[in-house]
Structure 1
Amino acid sequence: MGKEVIQAIKDRVSIRDYQAREIADDKIKDIIEAAHLAPSAGNLQPWEFHIVKNKEKISQLAELTSGQEWIASSPVIIVISALTDISKQKYGERGSSLYAIQDTAAAIENLLLAAESYDLGSCWVGDFNEGDVKRILSLKESSWPVAFVTLGYTASKAEETRPQRSIDEVMTIIN
């Protein structure tokens, strides 16, 4: 991967405008491998990555969001699901309702940073109906869709990014 981690973190922004250009499967596989290397409670790796390239399915998924039509122009949508039953077996309800989601979120962040390292644009989307996603993609009962990540070559970057809260606002040092 081409960029240092800190630089990738600083450079990454949510992209909502993609070129129609196809992404090579080996790049997608490398990105998923990076996501799969995320830490997880008990090393259970309670996640699945569903790579959607079919334009009809992408359009159907885009329709499940609240007015985010731009999603339909994404060359790839990766639907990331938490396998809550795996975490529940080891950690009970807390594993199912919290750890599986935390673990999956860590994998998603790895995915976003890996995409950035390949100079691919991405956007984390959480506004959708999980049941409809499961139906459209024929996911198993224990697979809980947590997020879509749109992926593609950037057509245009946002001119302005949202201001970040200052470090002093978000950090407390306890001595």
Structure 2
Amino acid sequence: MEVKEAIEKRRSTRKYKNKSLPLHLVERLLYYANMAPSAGNLQARDFIIVDDESLKEKIAEAAYGQEFLKDAPVLVVFCANLKRIAPYGERGKLYCIQDVAASIQNFLLAALDEGLATCWVGAFDEERVKKLLGIPPWIKPIAIVTLGYGDEEAYSSRMDIKELIHYNAW
């Protein structure tokens, strides 16, 4: 699949087939996630793969009851590593969020190329997720991404690009 085609086809999927994913496939997608640019090439991001049913249920609850999270075969919690970005001081906290976001987009596109569906979830109780997953204090969960074989045709409209582009000033 061409990159531009993947960008146009990528959608958020909330219904998944009850079909497991091999761990090596998830790890390969995370390899591509980590190929994203990062401030100072510090790669201040870490990934937590969750496939335990009980844990997925608890994470769905921590994500304000978004039930579809527990139905996805795999969840990946994308985290910012504040120790690794420390050379940039306080600004590094902003940089690593950008770094994680770039890695998520790579992950979403690579998953689509493998015939998999995803949904990027940013609404969750960070402290509950940290506690559930035993995440240390210097790690900040940024997003949870569902991963699996989609069981729906997802659709999302887009605004006309001309409404979003500004030249030389607002």
TM over 0.5: yes
* Structure 2 residue 99 is matched with structure 1 residue 103: yes
Query: Is the 1:17–1:157 Cα contact (8 Å) retained in structure 2?
Result: no
User: Contact 1:50 / 1:80 at 8 angstroms: preserved in 2?
Assistant: yes
Deviations 1:5-47 (A, max 9, x none): 1111111100000011011122111100000100001000000
Structure 1 vs Structure 2 CA RMSD: 1.3
The CA deviation at 1:122 is 0.2
| Mapping of residues 123-134 of structure 1, within 5 Å | 123-134=119-130
Report the equivalent of 1:86. Answer: 84
1:147 aligned residue (143, 147, 164): 143
Unaligned runs of 5+ in 2: none
TM-superposition CA deviations, 1:128-169 (whole Å, max 9, x none)? 1111111101111111000000000011123xx332111111
1:18 aligns with 2:31: no
Q: Distance in 1 between matches of 2:64 and 2:132?
A: 17
Q: Distance in 2 between matches of 1:162 and 1:83?
A: 32
User: Measured at CA, do residues 67 and 60 of structure 1 come closer, stay the same or move farther in structure 2, by a change above 3 Å?
Assistant: closer
* TM-score, length of structure 2 as denominator length: 0.95
Give 2:157's aligned residue: 163
Matched, 1:114 2:145: no
Question: What SS does structure 2 have at the residue aligned with 1:50?
Answer: strand
For the pair 1:172 / 2:163, whether they are aligned, the reply is no
SS at match of 1:133: helix
* CA shift digits 1:52-96 (9 cap, x unpaired): 010000001001122311111111000010002221x21110112
Aligned positions of 1:8-87 closer than 5 A: 8-87=6-85
In 1, Cα distance between equivalents of 2:167 and 2:73: 43
Letter in 2 for 1:28: V
Distance of 1:17 and 1:9 partners within structure 2: 20
Rounded Cα–Cα distance in structure 2 between residues aligned with 1:137 and 1:65: 14
Q: 1: distance between equivalents of 2:9 and 2:26?
A: 20
CA distance in 1, matches of 2:167, 2:3: 24
